[in-house]
Chains A and B, each alone.
Chain A
Amino acid sequence: MSIVVGVVTFPGSLDDRDAMRAVRRCGGTAVRLWHADDSLYGVDAVILPGGFSYGDYLRCGAIARFAPVMETIADAARGGLPVLGICNGFQILCEAHLLPGALVRNEHLHFRNRDQRLRIGSVASAWTNAFTPGQEIVIPVKNGEGRYVADAKTLDQLEAEDRVIARYVDGNPNGSMRDIAGIRNEAGNVVGLMPHPEHAIDELTGPSLDGQGFFVSVLQHLASARTVAAR
């Protein structure tokens, strides 16, 4: 049976279709989840896509965090459900306190849209296990409020626990502290990433196929969990 990944659509989501296409391209089944519906319909993993949920009003992700579907996702994430937040999805995960820190206005105030080189850090997560530590990849980054901030103690802890999953190299596009592009939670099932792997899955439209690694990771992770369960 195919592995089913749910992609949430909030009012103002932009990259939900691309995320679904990325899941399918990597061999999974993608289904849509709706922000106002609190059921996850038994999906095996969830992606919170990029965009501008609720118009980014108040703070990015601040209102989406309280959407009915998010209450269910937060509970499921604490129970181990793999959840990937991309860009606005990362902002929502921080607002929901499923990941530490916050994402604020870019240091230079400009919206930055370019192909970005990243260095993979921790591969001990549901979404990065198909990479090797130190591997460099190129995927698009596009944000106006992507500067990752947290207090020094939190940053030290993230590094000490190997919870930084990717860092910017060849230039930090937004002023993120310690060049952090993505982090994971302690258990490794929840990952937030500012750049967009779902836009780097096809030679025709992306700068590389490097983005596939994130989706392949979760499909492998869930497939191996099923094999273990079936024994």
Chain B
Amino acid sequence: MARVVVDVMLKPEILDPQGQAVAGALPRFGVTGVTSVRVGKRIEIEFAGTPDLEQVRHIADRLLANPVIETYTVRLEDETGGARPEPTAAGAAA
């Protein structure tokens, strides 16, 4: 099994009110000196075999991101999973 991660971000010139709202909440936690917060999407796609990254780029460009307003990156996550946020069901069993 292999996991491909697609990160989608609004282009820098597109206003991100969601990020601004998050930035506005940070002083409540005593976090100061923040100049910008922007919120994007992370999409994880798991393949049974070896993923075809060209194919993933195609769906990223056509469906997962809207290139009019967003940029995206496509990367294959390594075997160790890098910084996976939580163990998968398979990982927990192992």
A-B CB pair tally, cutoff 8 Å: 33
Write the A45-81 contact mask toward B (1 if CB under 8 angstroms, else 0): 0000000000000110011001000000000000000
Listed stretches B15-23, B48-56, B76-84; interface member: B15-23
- Residue A231 is within 8 A (CB to CB) of chain B in the complex: no
Cα distance A185–B33 in the bound complex, in angstroms: 45
Give B64's nearest chain A residue, CB to CB: A58
Cα distance A11–B79 in the bound complex, in angstroms: 38
Q: Which residues of B contact A94 (CB under 8 A)?
A: 68
Q: Which residues of A contact B15 (CB under 8 A)?
A: 107, 149, 175
Cross-chain contact of B14 among A100, A104, A109 (Cβ < 8 A):
A104
Nearest CB of chain A from residue B83's CB, rounded to whole Å? 24
Cα distance A94–B67 in the bound complex, in angstroms: 11
Contact sample, A vs B, 23 pairs, CB 8 Å cutoff: A58-B63, A59-B66, A62-B63, A63-B63, A66-B63, A94-B68, A95-B66, A102-B66, A102-B68, A104-B69, A105-B17, A106-B17, A107-B15, A108-B17, A109-B17, A109-B18, A109-B21, A149-B14, A149-B15, A150-B68, A151-B13, A175-B15, A175-B17
